[in-house]
Structure 1
């Protein structure tokens, strides 16, 4: 269908031909009109593509279908008022005005996407203009107050959807309407750094990046160079690392939002997506963003360790795990999309590493393929990468990563990965806001996440169906819990949480558990080996008259119970791996079908799940410590991908040197790993290992050389003195603060914030 040239397009075209230069407001420098239009078109190309490709006909039809559904259901009613019958606009607390603008964005994408029957259709544009007029009059203008509703909708949600919609429909919009619809943003989103609804709050992380996108787009749409520059400066400030406490990216790769919560996979992904798009949109313009090497470094340090075959690990997605429409593959897709966008500007040293990495993710994840969840505009970029014969399929990332600044540890091997979510007086155990994450009570209490070849385990209706009292890795009592209240911000009163890593192959995670609202206490450690995770617990004590359990595993096996083998002190689950009890304990194994609803865990106004019952099969392995245990203990091994025979034969493969309130330690194949809760000594096969204060140590001997890593997860020590089982002849190399002292090793840990110190010793 043909489309008449809008008055605004004609004016801008004439200006460009005449070489007219437009001046930004408030003394801004003179910028050619073409610069604004070029940046805007670049943004539209990221949202809707630039040309039709028959290879993506199905996806194009899907985009068109979504837009037609919006049109088909559109029934404006000024008396109610509403644009769609299911989204009445009278009460802003419903969030329906935010949903309405999101629907307008869906319609605009259909209009702007080449190949759809709606592409640049004049009637569709006219309908969109009337709908946006309606929303301006009844839902979002500079005179309406938010009446206690969610500030995010007013200052980020609607501004982002509205500016996207206006950019996509730009060639079909009259000038006077555009200025009118954007006028409310002067009130609600004038500055990326300010929160209008809460004066004094300075925006950080994803919120600042999201506002920067809206401010930049408003500047491009209205040819206001001052606004675009303000957005650019706000994003540039975000690229500086923080030492904390509080929001931002840390040098070890941690990302914190809302002051105390690990959020790499949610707010962090939103941040990365916004910044990547801003970089692409403003590239080679008068507002090109500088210092972008910092963004490239963040990809490797903060995001790659948490992506497993295109899935973002749930241990850093916070309360978003409870949102039905945002699974791990959605967060992973946004991460991939951001990296593909950054590839256009990234130096080759980064690009040559990312291309195989992303190709590996895309190739291996056929359970939830990228093409099924990604927007059309980025699918073509992904397919081009997949078809490029010069780019190899990269292997899975391997390594041991300790994120001391957010109490997370990730251990990655070639065929599996294991993550541990902890909490302390620095890092919150669980966040509940906006009636989301209502049953996330124990997700930060040492919950463990095992990733294997089954890429649907965590996203196949797990969160509404898993027993929330029996999360893997946790030690809990069975008291009945109520829904978490809005604003819940629990931080256990313990400094103990963190870990240490050696050579990217071995590690140790440790936390002191202080039960929420109970007397439960425990000391927990996970020893991370090349083929296993050894879990030790000690000092498990409670006095509330309730049963206490440690959950070895709680596996979602989807629509059936897979084969299960058991022996004396071991359990094997087909398709997952084995579990070996190392202290003679008798595990309790449950096989059950569980039914739940997303609505049970998320009743949010704009995120709430549906009430459809869903059922999944679970195999749960428990250690029962009884009612009111006194100094109970456990020791077990998780053996991912192991066979039943390997699991049955694992007894004796690892030696437990100690599992007490003073020290927990293991030995295997010249590797010694220990957590000293206080000063103490543990006997190894080669002599005593002593520490004069709290620390975590992993060391490996190779003939006359010892590689050692040490950290203080409690952050209470200043200097540590380690006496090793061998006489130290010299230090071959070491981090700053590590030295010999009277036959021992002296390590300065004050100010390290729980980060690892390493050394290579001649013994």
Structure 2
């Protein structure tokens, strides 16, 4: 035995194993006859076809050779060594804390994929299957069995990582495996992954989101491999339960599209993608079987509501990828590829109303993103589905989606225009500002403090070695002091002690976001707002105050320009960065512009056992635009416009296009072309050209007048008000249309916001 057991652990483990063995034997004996064996085999083959493809296609010879090359590399480097013990010299198995046992099973999966993929030289080779059998025996004996003690190593490897890789491996190799050995290798799952809904290593924890979906996949596959109807039904039921929306707090999908994992973190682009991938595969695998997952309309709605707003030409926005931004092998295009793969998988079962919208949308993503082509990342079977879509003349190339999306339940706002997108990452006492676990995301200190993410035609900006090379003290959109920070510790879970974060959108075209900044370990305080227009983002800051003896800065931009500095133009109150954007200073401030080459290593930001980056230095060029508020500022302010993909002329001429109505501790507001947008931090009034706009409590409001009609949206991002009274610059004649809780009252508008959780109320008024 490789890992020593304490006597108590051994006794408890033996008792647990004995009980599970009896339970498993009884289930296998009692249920196998209930479902035709062919049903199990059909579902398993369906899964294998999703992984390896059903037949060889010469059109994908390069992809097939890549699968073969990975499998042959696994075989070539394999060295059985019982003394270390190890299957590969670089993965000794003695200490589970290294995660090498998890990596070993991942390599076995790569070998099995090569064996099962039609067209490889390994396909169906009995000698390769024989080697795989010996290797799985070795891993069962030395790395992963029902008697072992995980000795404080990462629970995920034991309960999800290895079970997923092992069941995939066994499914792919199934026709070449002795069935008695198959049951032996799967026996540890009775201890470590018996139930999708429970965490064995931490009793009392109920699995949610991606973790439950991942476990459901492993449990379902074990059921199919061992012809255990009970296990497949258990997995199916666990997935069905996942499709229910939550009102929070905590993990799950929310009605506004937010997705939370680990209680307080927005994770749509990481755990959420894993969830979507697992559920899509389970739906496809069990379709037209005795275990078909029914009542799944919710998953199609989730794709539109939760995932699509964050995908930009096949890239998943980093603002919802959490600590995964620091992982060298998982970048925005990897998360985007998995999202596309899941949608392509769901297209087989999706209702027409979704499928008709998704096909052009995905075709648009695949067509526009030539920087990191989908075909270089996706599995062979998914590439074939993508190609079929691209070749279908009946499906047009869909444009980029547009709209303003406020995810009040996870403090994120996304603003999308035809040629660019802008995302804002905030935090509050509800939503954590940064997560650091497993020695990952060591320098993510400010990623939730109002960081902004500009997406343009440069689709490699965020993935081209940005995170190890960008100055982590100067993330775009943030206001920070320059204190030296230590690496974030494992388990860091910071939530700023303020309820103020959120926003509001009007008609999906205009919006705003706002947050109160409370510095981490600092006296720094500020009120920050972003106004989202059709051609610009207006950023206002006020009340910037600190007393720690350190310099405070606001970062207008910090752009990765890869291997060169592009042309830079400057004028009176503006800066233009060629190919990116124009930046107009709206309050006469003089920005500091820095152009530098920065060098870093992925290992600097991720030292995780199985994810840790390499130590190779990488260098990139940056243009950074900084507003210097000085040392210990007192009520400093800023006002600037970001003009994505604007020309030099458009940037130079922008002054005067927007009127700043207020930038104070009470209200921040702008006016343009009949539209007023305001953040009221408390009751107050702002003067417009047509009269005062007043409210009696904290709120965010956007209103637009067209002749004698006003459209408005209002929300309470602080979640502290019961109802709000808005007095508009015009007399209200009637309410044409309004959400529940909105009514006219004595010449003003009364809006009930209690219980709205920061979501908007809207109305159309005659004035």
Fold-level similarity (TM above 0.5): yes
Q: Distance in 1 between matches of 2:533 and 2:689?
A: 19
> How much has 1:321 moved relative to structure 2?
0.2
Q: Distance in 2 between matches of 1:500 and 1:655?
A: 20
Evaluate the alpha carbon distance shift between residue 21 and residue 354 of structure 1 in structure 2; reply closer, same or farther with a 3 A threshold. Answer: farther
Query: Per the alignment, in what secondary structure is the counterpart of residue 22 of structure 1?
Result: helix
Question: Conserved in 1, the CA contact under 8 Å of 2:239 and 2:279?
Answer: yes
Evaluate the alpha carbon distance shift between residue 552 and residue 348 of structure 1 in structure 2; reply closer, same or farther with a 3 A threshold. Answer: same
Structure 2 residue corresponding to 1:698, chosen from 699, 702, 719: 702
Q: Distance in 1 between matches of 2:165 and 2:7?
A: 23
Q: CA RMSD in A?
A: 5.7
Evaluate the alpha carbon distance shift between residue 98 and residue 469 of structure 1 in structure 2; reply closer, same or farther with a 3 A threshold. Answer: same
Q: Distance in 2 between matches of 1:481 and 1:6?
A: 40
Counterpart in 2 of 1:684? 688
Evaluate the alpha carbon distance shift between residue 363 and residue 198 of structure 1 in structure 2; reply closer, same or farther with a 3 A threshold. Answer: same
Question: Conserved in 2, the CA contact under 8 Å of 1:696 and 1:710?
Answer: yes
Q: Distance in 1 between matches of 2:61 and 2:19?
A: 40
Question: Conserved in 1, the CA contact under 8 Å of 2:3 and 2:149?
Answer: no
Evaluate the alpha carbon distance shift between residue 513 and residue 604 of structure 1 in structure 2; reply closer, same or farther with a 3 A threshold. Answer: same
Q: Deviations over 1:489-532 (max 9, x none)?
A: 00000000000000000000000000000000000000000000
Q: TM-score, normalised by structure 1?
A: 0.97
Query: Per the alignment, in what secondary structure is the counterpart of residue 30 of structure 1?
Result: coil
Q: Distance in 2 between matches of 1:609 and 1:122?
A: 37
Deviates more, 1:46-55 or 1:21-30: 21-30
Query: Per the alignment, in what secondary structure is the counterpart of residue 301 of structure 2?
Result: helix
Deviates more, 1:457-466 or 1:282-291: 282-291
> How much has 1:6 moved relative to structure 2?
39
**Are 1:464 and 2:458 matched, yes or no?**
no
> How much has 1:628 moved relative to structure 2?
0.3
Question: Conserved in 1, the CA contact under 8 Å of 2:17 and 2:147?
Answer: no
Q: Distance in 1 between matches of 2:17 and 2:612?
A: 51
Alignment of 1:120-199 (within 5 A): 120-199=124-203
Query: Per the alignment, in what secondary structure is the counterpart of residue 765 of structure 2?
Result: strand
Question: Conserved in 2, the CA contact under 8 Å of 1:713 and 1:754?
Answer: yes
Deviates more, 1:433-442 or 1:16-25: 16-25
Q: Deviations over 1:365-414 (max 9, x none)?
A: 00000001111110000000000000000000100000000000000000
Structure 2 residue corresponding to 1:746, chosen from 736, 745, 750: 750
Evaluate the alpha carbon distance shift between residue 19 and residue 561 of structure 1 in structure 2; reply closer, same or farther with a 3 A threshold. Answer: closer
Evaluate the alpha carbon distance shift between residue 225 and residue 687 of structure 1 in structure 2; reply closer, same or farther with a 3 A threshold. Answer: same
Question: Conserved in 1, the CA contact under 8 Å of 2:542 and 2:663?
Answer: yes
Query: Per the alignment, in what secondary structure is the counterpart of residue 146 of structure 2?
Result: coil
Question: Conserved in 2, the CA contact under 8 Å of 1:192 and 1:212?
Answer: yes
Query: Per the alignment, in what secondary structure is the counterpart of residue 19 of structure 2?
Result: coil
Q: Distance in 2 between matches of 1:537 and 1:708?
A: 24
Q: Deviations over 1:589-647 (max 9, x none)?
A: 00000000000000000000000000000000000000000000000000001000100
Q: Distance in 2 between matches of 1:10 and 1:190?
A: 19
Structure 2 residue corresponding to 1:370, chosen from 353, 374, 377: 374
Q: Distance in 1 between matches of 2:35 and 2:9?
A: 18
Question: Conserved in 2, the CA contact under 8 Å of 1:328 and 1:458?
Answer: yes
Q: Deviations over 1:109-133 (max 9, x none)?
A: 0000000000000110000000000
Query: Per the alignment, in what secondary structure is the counterpart of residue 274 of structure 1?
Result: helix
**Are 1:614 and 2:618 matched, yes or no?**
yes
> How much has 1:176 moved relative to structure 2?
1.0
Q: Deviations over 1:440-495 (max 9, x none)?
A: 00000000000000000000000000000000000000000000000000000000
> How much has 1:80 moved relative to structure 2?
0.4
> How much has 1:20 moved relative to structure 2?
26
Query: Per the alignment, in what secondary structure is the counterpart of residue 22 of structure 2?
Result: strand
Evaluate the alpha carbon distance shift between residue 532 and residue 30 of structure 1 in structure 2; reply closer, same or farther with a 3 A threshold. Answer: same
Evaluate the alpha carbon distance shift between residue 98 and residue 390 of structure 1 in structure 2; reply closer, same or farther with a 3 A threshold. Answer: same
Evaluate the alpha carbon distance shift between residue 23 and residue 513 of structure 1 in structure 2; reply closer, same or farther with a 3 A threshold. Answer: closer
> How much has 1:291 moved relative to structure 2?
1.5
Evaluate the alpha carbon distance shift between residue 379 and residue 9 of structure 1 in structure 2; reply closer, same or farther with a 3 A threshold. Answer: farther
Evaluate the alpha carbon distance shift between residue 642 and residue 353 of structure 1 in structure 2; reply closer, same or farther with a 3 A threshold. Answer: same
Q: Deviations over 1:171-192 (max 9, x none)?
A: 0000111000000000000000
> How much has 1:193 moved relative to structure 2?
0.3
> How much has 1:4 moved relative to structure 2?
39
Unaligned runs of 5+ in 1: none
Query: Per the alignment, in what secondary structure is the counterpart of residue 667 of structure 1?
Result: strand
Question: Conserved in 1, the CA contact under 8 Å of 2:9 and 2:149?
Answer: no
Question: Conserved in 1, the CA contact under 8 Å of 2:317 and 2:332?
Answer: yes
Alignment of 1:431-470 (within 5 A): 431-470=435-474
Question: Conserved in 2, the CA contact under 8 Å of 1:22 and 1:31?
Answer: no
Deviates more, 1:297-306 or 1:17-26: 17-26
Question: Conserved in 2, the CA contact under 8 Å of 1:255 and 1:268?
Answer: yes
> How much has 1:16 moved relative to structure 2?
34
Counterpart in 2 of 1:602? 606
Q: Distance in 2 between matches of 1:654 and 1:148?
A: 57
Q: Distance in 2 between matches of 1:533 and 1:484?
A: 31
Question: Conserved in 2, the CA contact under 8 Å of 1:715 and 1:753?
Answer: yes
Unaligned runs of 5+ in 2: none
Q: Distance in 1 between matches of 2:57 and 2:625?
A: 51
Q: Distance in 2 between matches of 1:333 and 1:14?
A: 43
Query: Per the alignment, in what secondary structure is the counterpart of residue 51 of structure 1?
Result: coil
Question: Conserved in 2, the CA contact under 8 Å of 1:6 and 1:171?
Answer: no
Evaluate the alpha carbon distance shift between residue 63 and residue 13 of structure 1 in structure 2; reply closer, same or farther with a 3 A threshold. Answer: farther
Evaluate the alpha carbon distance shift between residue 754 and residue 282 of structure 1 in structure 2; reply closer, same or farther with a 3 A threshold. Answer: same
> How much has 1:21 moved relative to structure 2?
23
Q: Deviations over 1:527-581 (max 9, x none)?
A: 0000000000000000000000000000000000000000011000000010000
Evaluate the alpha carbon distance shift between residue 13 and residue 281 of structure 1 in structure 2; reply closer, same or farther with a 3 A threshold. Answer: farther
> How much has 1:11 moved relative to structure 2?
37
> How much has 1:290 moved relative to structure 2?
1.4
Evaluate the alpha carbon distance shift between residue 605 and residue 233 of structure 1 in structure 2; reply closer, same or farther with a 3 A threshold. Answer: same
Aligned residues: 763
Q: Deviations over 1:54-94 (max 9, x none)?
A: 01101110110000000000011000000000000000000
Evaluate the alpha carbon distance shift between residue 324 and residue 5 of structure 1 in structure 2; reply closer, same or farther with a 3 A threshold. Answer: closer
> How much has 1:364 moved relative to structure 2?
0.1
Evaluate the alpha carbon distance shift between residue 19 and residue 471 of structure 1 in structure 2; reply closer, same or farther with a 3 A threshold. Answer: closer
Q: TM-score, normalised by structure 2?
A: 0.96
Question: Conserved in 1, the CA contact under 8 Å of 2:197 and 2:208?
Answer: yes
Question: Conserved in 2, the CA contact under 8 Å of 1:23 and 1:225?
Answer: no
Question: Conserved in 2, the CA contact under 8 Å of 1:82 and 1:89?
Answer: yes
Q: Distance in 2 between matches of 1:648 and 1:307?
A: 31
Query: Per the alignment, in what secondary structure is the counterpart of residue 92 of structure 2?
Result: coil
